Structure 1
Amino acid sequence: MFYRLSGLLALLVLLAAPTHAQLITDPARAAAARDTLLQQAAQLRLHAEQTSPIFNTNARARGRRRVVVQGISHQNSGTLPNDGVRQTQWAPDNIAWRHVTRYRRDGRVQERYRLSAGHQMLLNERRLNGAVIWLSVPVAYTSVPGMVVRHRGLFLRTGYVMLDKDQYVLPKSLQ
């Protein structure tokens, strides 16, 4: 008796749940959404790395299996005191980025790239042997000068793309 009631309750919950957006299966639109998201991520990375006057790395010795490169992108980078040491004070318009590369013993190269402004994540990306396997741009607008974030989205290597509020499925030939 209890199992019948719980099954009926589960069916009612599923029927009463709001319907989700329909997946768009048009290959041309799905490829355009994927390319838009990948291009925006490349522009965000390029802007953050070009405006970073100083970055840190742990790759002082050859043969390291984990290499971490990180920096802070100073939008107003004219803050050199008289002693010549650059101040690394955090300002709200600064962007912090971190690129972690892991070289596995079986030959795989895993990369993780994170980009954030303040407490707001702008980009989170994972790569395997140079191919993007997961990409997330969680915000569609940022108040950081010089940064242009027009779309928010998510890309998965399995062929799913979410750009703004539309969800796409890439065909196997385009993955």
Structure 2
Amino acid sequence: MLYRLGGLLALSVLLAGPARAQLITDPARALAARDTLLQQAAQLRLRAEQTSPFFKTNSHGRGRRRVVVQGISGQNSGALPATGVRQTQWTPDNVVWRHVTCYRRNGRLLERYRLSMGHKTLLRERRLNGNVIWLSIPVAYSNVMGTAIRHRGLFLRTGYLTLDNDQYVLPRPLL
């Protein structure tokens, strides 16, 4: 029985990896890290939507509860050749974005946004009534569409944030 517990303990130590640093609870540093992550996500979204020559949507009629908008951005997406006909082909260098908006019957607005290049996810974001409730940027130190991704991180609405392997606790508002 003891050798099994010892084996489980050794396995848990190996899976845990190196010791993590303490949580950073300084409100100024935590808010600055949150703003950095949100600003980088906004730049990525804006650049992807600006460099997209076209998009397609499923909202042809009014009153849809779920609207999906998709687009492709990149070097070869939508250049007009001499013939004047747009030849859009997907290549691994292109960035694909998808924005899903769900209108709930209780009046809430749920949005999901995903930005990916090839098989790599660059940005995933969820919003509820315009407020970010979950944000993930898993890739750092790369150049996408002329925008440098310098930081990677994860933001949770519950008040926790990870930015470049540093963990932060956001200050709670006073009630």
- TM-score range (shorter-chain normalised) is 0.7 to 0.9
Aligned to 2:164: 164
Q: In the alignment, which residue of structure 2 is the partner of 1:119?
A: 119
Q: Quote the offset at 1:103 in angstroms.
A: 0.7
Q: Is the 8 A contact 1:161 1:167 kept in 2?
A: yes
Deviation sequence 1:20-62 (CA, Å, 0-9, x none): 2211111100000000000000000000000111000111111
Matching residue of 1:144: 144
Q: Which has the higher contact order (CA 8 A, sep 6+)?
A: 1
Q: Quick one: which amino acid aligns to residue 54 of structure 1?
A: F
Where does residue 46 of structure 1 map in the other structure?
Answer: 46
SS of corresponding position for 1:172: coil
1:74 Cα offset (Å)? 3.0
Deviation at 1:83, TM superposition (A): 4.7
Cα distance in 2, alignment partners of residues 55 and 44 from structure 1: 17
Is the Cα–Cα contact under 8 Å of residues 115 and 123 in structure 1 kept in the other structure? yes
1:33 corresponding residue in structure 2:
33
Greater shift in the superposed pair: 144-153 or 71-80: 71-80
Q: Residue 60 and residue 31 in structure 1: after superposition, are their counterparts in 2 closer, same or farther (change >3 A)?
A: same
Across the aligned residues of Structure 1 and Structure 2, the Cα RMSD in angstroms comes to 2.3
| 8 A Cα contact 1:24 1:30, kept in partner | yes
Shift of 1:66: 0.4
Q: What is the aligned residue count?
A: 172
Partner of 2:100: 100
Gaps of 5+ in 1: none
Report the identity percentage: 71
> TM (normalized to structure 2)?
0.87
Question: Which residue is 1:56 aligned to?
Answer: 56
Q: Are the counterparts in 2 of residues 53 and 74 from structure 1 also a CA contact under 8 Å?
A: no
Secondary structure, counterpart of 2:68 in structure 1? strand
Other structure's SS at 2:80 match: coil
In the other structure, the counterpart of 1:132 is: 132
CA deviations on 1:59-102 (whole Å, 9 max, x unpaired) are 11110000000101133556324553312212333211000000
8 Å contact 1:94–1:144 — kept in the other structure?
no
Structure 1 ranges of 4+ moved more than 4 A: 4-18
| Bigger shift: residues 6-15 or 139-148 | 6-15
Check 1:15–1:135 CA distance in 2 against 1; reply closer, same or farther (3 A cut): closer
TM-score (norm: length of structure 1) = 0.87
